[in-house]
């Protein structure tokens, strides 16, 4: 009886593998990932060029770069740090650059909002899986 149950389970597992389509997965240095190329069809989908919608990973391809979203975050963070350094330099030099300091503070606030939005988008993508 146990052998029959085991063979039924193994058939179910084999069937589960056949009803899903396989894709490559690209894993970035930052830990994020994206789906890569389609690799293998399942028995559920018969149309050429179509997939069943169920995705399994055929292989994981490591990518040495960060994803585009993390690159944008890093770029904005560098711009923010540069503005902050500029403000500190102007403050040390005296109060003659008041308008420039105010403009830089506005830029820093704007960059902070953009960085926050990008980080929120990254977290939404991670939680959507």
CA proximity to 38, closest of 64, 15, 14, 20: 20
pTM of the model: 0.69
pLDDT at 22 over 80: yes
pLDDT digits (tens, 9 = 90+) for 25-64: 999 998 888 888 777 777 666 666 666 777 778 888 999 9
Instruction: For residues 30 and 93, give the distance between their C-alpha atoms in angstroms, rounded to a whole number.
Output: 39
Top mean-pLDDT range of 37-41, 77-81, 88-92: 77-81
For the residues 74-95, what does the mean pLDDT come to? 93
pLDDT at 3 over 50: no
- Centre a 10 Å sphere on the Cβ of residue 73 and count the other Cβ atoms it contains: 21
């Amino acid at each position: 009886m146990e052998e029959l149950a085991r063979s039924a389970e193994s058939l179910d597992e084999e069937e589960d593998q056949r009803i899903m389509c396989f894709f490559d997965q690209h894993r970035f240095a930052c830990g994020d990932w994206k789906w890569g190329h389609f690799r293998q069809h399942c028995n559920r989908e018969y149309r050429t060029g179509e997939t069943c919608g169920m995705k399994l990973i055929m292989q994981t391809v490591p990518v040495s770069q960060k994803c585009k979203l993390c690159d944008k975050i890093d770029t904005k963070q560098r711009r923010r740090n540069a503005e902050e350094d500029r403000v500190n330099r102007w403050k040390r030099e005296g109060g003659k650059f008041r308008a420039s300091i105010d403009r830089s503070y506005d830029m820093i606030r704007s960059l902070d909002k953009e960085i926050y939005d990008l980080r929120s988008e990254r977290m939404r993508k991670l939680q959507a899986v």
